[in-house]
Structure 1
Amino acid sequence: MVTSTTGPVVTAEMEEIAPALTREQLAELLTLLEGSDSVELKVTVPSTERRSTAEHLGMDVMDAEIRQVVFFDTPDLRLNKAGVVVRARRIQHRAGDSVVKLRPVDPAHLAGKLRHAAGFGVEVDALPGGFVCSGRMKAKVEDDLLRKVFAGEKPVHKLFTKHQRALYEEHAPDGLGLDDLAALGPINILKLKFEPEGYPRPLVAELWFYPDGGEILELSTKCAPGDAFAVTAETKEYLLAHGVDLDAPQQTKTRTALAYFAGR
């Protein structure tokens, strides 16, 4: 990453790697990367190309792990509109987790105490043509408790630590407690972490099954912020060579889920 006394410098190479972004967007991205802990590069695969993509990348569904996600919000998505995402996740044969996420965030404006709190991290999610920076506080949760909350047998706040609850209360709309939120879900997921031949890092494939029969297949990989452009170039080249259409319309898993459950 190139910097100067006046801030990050956008290079011609960066513009070539991310041609869909303007110079202003690239400068913003560089600033966000400087204050982030990690970067996740994502791309969603069109439904017509899922089978061929799985074959070209050597994905074996029998190695996939079953997961189940529930989001918590009001039917009119008041929480999401305030920039807060609350979710919990069950994971096959082991403990799951809960997350309170702020999105978008500017790392430079986060309080130092929060920035260094246990379980808190800042990550940039980058898709073809866009990016968003989020801060999230994550905690492990035993599966039995997750199952009971998902079934409505235990209150929602039981899934979250006191630090997560404090973060929620600071950023949620006034008067909207965790136990006021509706459970939006569950959504069943297959997650596969694999090492495709000819690609020097692990890839993750997630296939989300929505209740209306819709599906989203997302491919992703993580890297350090300082490696973001190099890994992006490397990943683009590999995926294009294996038939993945990076110009296809992109979908986000969370937004699609919330849109489906809103008002139901």
Structure 2
Amino acid sequence: MTTAPAQLLPDQLVSMMELVGQSDSVELKLTVPSGSYRAATKALAIDPLEAQIRQVFFFDTPDLALNRAGVVVRARRIQGRDSDSTVKLRPLTPSDVDPAFRSSPQFNVEVDAMPGGYVCSGSMKNTLPPTAVLASVGGDRPLRKLFSKEQRAFYAAHAPEGLSLDDLSVLGPILVLKLKVTPKDLGQRLVAEVWTYPDGSRVAELSTKSTPADALKVALAARSYLASSGIPLSGEQQTKTKTALEFFAAELSAG
């Protein structure tokens, strides 16, 4: 999803806060314009040598049938940590989620909010051994082996009929650098991520998480801090996942 750099209208704000009240967490996101990368790095005292390296793989059909159904399937390799996989549905209304999924400790409902837009999603997660992802994307193990029984059930409930996990194409990987910083003047942890695509293009994003109860307070504090640090709040907002899916789908079509 790419959103215009506009403020939420009152009715939109009310709708968002209703979703926030039914969610488990809130993530506030800001896409940093390419011309402001250096300024943001300096203002936040970011040391790129402290960043964690990640590889993100998405799974979909060449024509993005899952994406059209609101389903996102991915797996990540993470430097120095176990790998993981996620099956996500967005948008969703929390009250519509099957109680069997909603009660799982591996399931999380989250509202992502950014200037001019928001989306509520539900994610079923799974932890994997460090070697699992490469084995599956390389063809040595079926893709379904990356996903738990709960994830496969969640996928089956929302994916297009007849489209199994093993039918999906590998879209990726994306190289990601991730760094956490806690500015003294903010007192709230920020996460900086830079996603680099094979053609050299990048999406840089700043984010911070909050409990639903503290969402407005954290949003106001983060907005004030970023503005005072000279980081633009009015640039075009671009979601990392959508950019990745469209990039690799075009690559598959060209191939």
Whether the TM-score (by the shorter chain) exceeds 0.5 is yes
Which residue matches 2:151? 164
Q: Give RMSD over aligned pairs.
A: 1.2
SS of match in other structure, 2:75: strand
Uncovered stretches (5+) of structure 2, i.e. residues with no partner: none
Which of 116, 119, 122 does residue 109 from structure 2 map onto? Answer: 122
CA distance in 2, matches of 1:92, 1:152: 22
Instruction: Determine helix, strand or coil for the equivalent of 2:144.
Output: helix
Q: 1:40–1:125: 8 Å Cα contact kept in structure 2?
A: yes
Deviation at 1:34, TM superposition (A): 1.1
Is the Cα contact below 8 Å between 1:57 and 1:197 reproduced in 2? no
1:64 alignment partner AA: A
Question: 2:227 and 2:14 mapped to 1: Cα distance?
Answer: 26
Which of 95, 98, 119 is the equivalent residue of 1:132? 119
Aligned with 1:218 (options 186, 189, 205): 205
In the alignment, is the contact (CA less than 8 A) between 2:44 and 2:181 conserved in 1?
no
Query: Which among 229, 239, 244 is matched to residue 257 of structure 1?
Result: 244
Q: How many corresponding residue pairs?
A: 247
Q: How many angstroms does 1:62 deviate by?
A: 1.0
- Structure 1 distance, partners of 2:209, 2:58, is 23
TM-score (norm 1): 0.91
Quote how far apart the aligned CAs of 1:86 are. Answer: 0.2
Determine the C-alpha separation between the residues in 2 that align with 1:53 and 1:26.
Answer: 28
Q: Which has the higher contact order (CA 8 A, sep 6+)?
A: 2
Q: 1:85-137: CA deviations, max 9, x gaps?
A: 00000000221100000000101111222111120010000011100000000
Does the CA contact (< 8 Å) of 2:83 and 2:132 recur in 1?
Answer: no
Structure 1: distance between partners of 2:132 and 2:82:
10
**Superposition misfits of 4+ residues, deviation over 2 angstroms:** none
Q: 1:38 aligns with which of 12, 16, 25?
A: 25
- What is the TM-score with the length of structure 2 in the denominator? 0.94
The separation in 2 between residues aligned to 1:133 and 1:159, in whole angstroms, is: 24
Q: Which runs of structure 2 are paired with 1:9-20 in the superposition (5 Å)?
A: 20=7
Which whole-Å CA distance do the structure 2 matches of 1:23 and 1:197 have between them?
Answer: 32
Partner of 1:173: 160
Q: In structure 2, do the counterparts of structure 1 residues 188 and 19 end up closer, same or farther at CA, with 3 Å as the change threshold? A: closer
Give the letter for the 2:76 counterpart: R
1:19 CA drift (Å): 7.4
For residues 1-264 of structure 1, the aligned pairs below 5 Å read: 20-263=7-250, 264=252
Do the aligned partners of 2:91 and 2:119 also contact (CA within 8 Å) in 1?
yes
